[in-house]
Amino acid sequence: MLRIEYVYWLCGALLAACALHDLRARRFAAAAFWGILAVIFLGGDALPAQGVGVSVIVLALIAGSGALRRAPASVRAEPVEARSIDALRQAQGERLASAMRLGHRLFVPALVIPFGTLALSLAQPYSPWATLDRSAFTLIALAFACFVATLAALWLTRSSPRNAVGEASRLLDALSWAALLPMLLAMLGAVFAATGVGGAIAHIVAAAIPTQSPIACLLAFAFGMVAFTVIMGNAFAAFPVMMAGIGLPLLIGQHHAHAAALGALGMLTGYCGTLLTPMAANFNIVPAALLELRDPNGVIRAQWPTALALLAVNFAMLWLFAL
Amino acid sequence: MLAMQGLTLPIAAAIIAWIGNHTTMNYWPLLGVAVVVIGFAVRANPALVVVIAGIVSGLLAGLPVPDLLALIGNKFVASRNLLVLLLTLPTIGLLERAGLREHAAAFIARMRTFTLARLLIAYLGVRQLLSMLGLTGIAGHPQTVRPLLAPMAEAAAEKIDPQLNAEDRDCVKALCAATDNIGLFFGEDVFIAFGAVLLIQGFYAQNGINLDPRSISLWALPTALAAFAIQSLRALRLQRRLRDKRESHAAH
């Protein structure tokens, strides 16, 4: 039987290989960081939950200590630097030569990932796994496509699997703790939900607005969607809270708002908040690390004008059509 | 500045305590939110801030420590799906070492018709259309933005200004990431089988309002068009800014 755990085991194996690679290069903090994460991926639900909770705190402490930052080979700083610039130039020359030689064939493994995932997900209803949860199957398809793409890349570039681990480890170390942030934020969202943070916010907002004015309710709803999405990093978490606090009782119940328009436009208003917040790490912080931007908030800086303009559009639509 | 942020916490605590005395609700867990806001404001390590915020919020809600640790552990394990994208890293790394970014850049540099703005607008349009069809996983920051779109956009920007400085280069790369996000967010709600529409419909159904998912997704269409128009204009503006800059170089 196909299980989502296989995907996590594959991730765990890759993380373990990267940890070993860091251990060999004597980057002990990074080795410990990816090693702990590898154990969590390999063990999964079988691990005692409290043990995982302690490991999460340890991971955060390693990240917070700043030890993950890649230090240049410590001794003989000057000559090493001069040599590494030479090495960089040489590596760039090799990449250019290889790019000339391989040409468009380089695109093939890169395109195997999206199109392989797509083809497999489209084939699901005709496969023996038609009853498997759709999002779980998409992840399995993605993992399989990545595996095939790695094989294709190895074959195309005539590299050894060891190179593949080395390259993955290089990218993973460049991402550093930012790679972990989406999981940590999902955890925080769940803790906030379990401790009643959402209800408390909706309660305060509802108590603070003049409820007999439809426009005040609508403003509170839209602003609440944005603010709560900025705090939680996720419009999906904000939506039920704001709907239960303001949308259903006040806008629909008291002011007879149009339910379909309110729901759709309310969610899209929340998305404007997603564009503005470092809490939406996988959209805003991870890409800044991936693209090696000097400003970790560079992506948000590029997004805020669009976000504010769309916020105005959404609010105008809510006012015209939902009320 | 730092002193002001140091003051925020006691003030927030006082407000919450005051509200708490006037209702039966427990507002103390809200301090977890304050930890997040202050942590990001003082630029502490975000991973550490997030974990501390979770612990603060849990303890103030009266959760016993073993239960809180179990809650953190369970939810962390349950969100492993968010890290599956790391499986793309070996392929991307190998291809980058073999010159994928250089090839993508050279490919764009040769094509006269592909200006910076056209490249970004074409990507935005395709990304939105694919998201509307539910094909959200087909592109993304590790799969398409880092290996393909960003080097192509950099090459297109270098066609405008060969002496592109580091700041403008970061601007171009950041706009690539922004374009991917905006294409994804403001396309996916138009697709009825996507999570957002089902979440909205499910929420209403639980509360006794039955809606057709199509009636919800229809309302996402105007915003999708507005997002395309606004982001396209911004790509054009960046292009014009780079051109103006090049001309002022030439004038000197």
User: Average pLDDT of chain B?
Assistant: 85
Query: Which 21-60 residues of chain A touch chain B by CB within 8 A?
Result: 40-41, 44-45, 47-57, 59-60
Give yes or no for A95 touching B (CB within 8 A).
yes
CA distance B140 to B177: 9
Residue B241 has pLDDT above 50, yes or no: yes
Which residue in the set B19, B57, B85 is minimally distant from A197, CB to CB? B57
B201-228: per-residue pLDDT in tens?
A: 888 888 888 888 888 888 999 999 999 9
CA distance A99 to A31: 32
Q: Is the pTM of this model over 0.90?
A: no
Between the alpha carbon of residue B99 and those of residues A83, A92, B34, the distances in Å are 22, 8, 46
Q: Write down the domain spans for chain A.
A: 4-181, 196-322
A160 interfaces chain B, CB cutoff of 8 Å: no
Write the CB contacts of A213 (distance below 8 Å, at least 6 apart in sequence). none
**A161: which 2 tokens?**
């699997």
pLDDT of residue B18: 53
ipTM: 0.84
| CA B90/CA B108 separation, integer angstroms | 25
Mean pLDDT of A275-287: 91
Closest residue in chain B to residue A45, using alpha carbons only: B77
Q: Which of A230, A260, A228 is closest to A245 using CA atoms? A: A228
For tokens 């917040």, the residue is A277
B169 part of contact set with chain A, CB < 8 Å: no
Report the alpha-carbon distance of residue A312 to residue A307 in Å, rounded: 9
Residue A101: how many CB atoms within 10 A of its CB? 12
Per-residue DSSP letter, A209: S
Alpha carbon distance A183, A27 (integer Å): 23
Taking the CA of residue A150 and the nearest CA in chain B, the distance in Å comes to 5
Mean pLDDT of A73-77: 33
Phi, psi angles (nearest 5°) of residue A196: 80, 20
A158-165: long-range pairs with CB below 8 Å, 24+: A159/B94, A159/B97, A159/B98, A163/B94, A163/B97, A164/B90, A164/B93, A164/B94, A165/A14, A165/A17, A165/A18, A165/A21, A165/B90
CA nearest B179 in A: which residue?
Answer: A303
Express each pLDDT in A36-55 by its tens digit: 999 999 999 999 999 999 99
How many whole angstroms separate alpha carbon B181 and alpha carbon A273? 12
Whether residue B47 and residue A180 make contact (CB cut-off 8 A), yes or no, is yes
Is B143 in CB contact (< 8 Å) with chain A?
yes
pLDDT digits (tens, 9 = 90+) for A285-322: 999 999 999 998 999 999 999 999 999 999 999 999 88
Shortest distance, CA A75 to any CA of chain B (angstroms)? 27
What distance in Å separates residue B122's CA from the closest CA in chain A? Answer: 17
Q: Which residues from A are below 8 Å from B20, CB to CB? A: none
B178 touches chain A (CB under 8 A): yes
CB of B131 less than 8 A from some CB of A: no
User: Nearest-CA distance from B108 to chain A in Å?
Assistant: 12
Using pLDDT thresholds of 50, 70 and 90, give the confidence band for residue B4.
Answer: very low
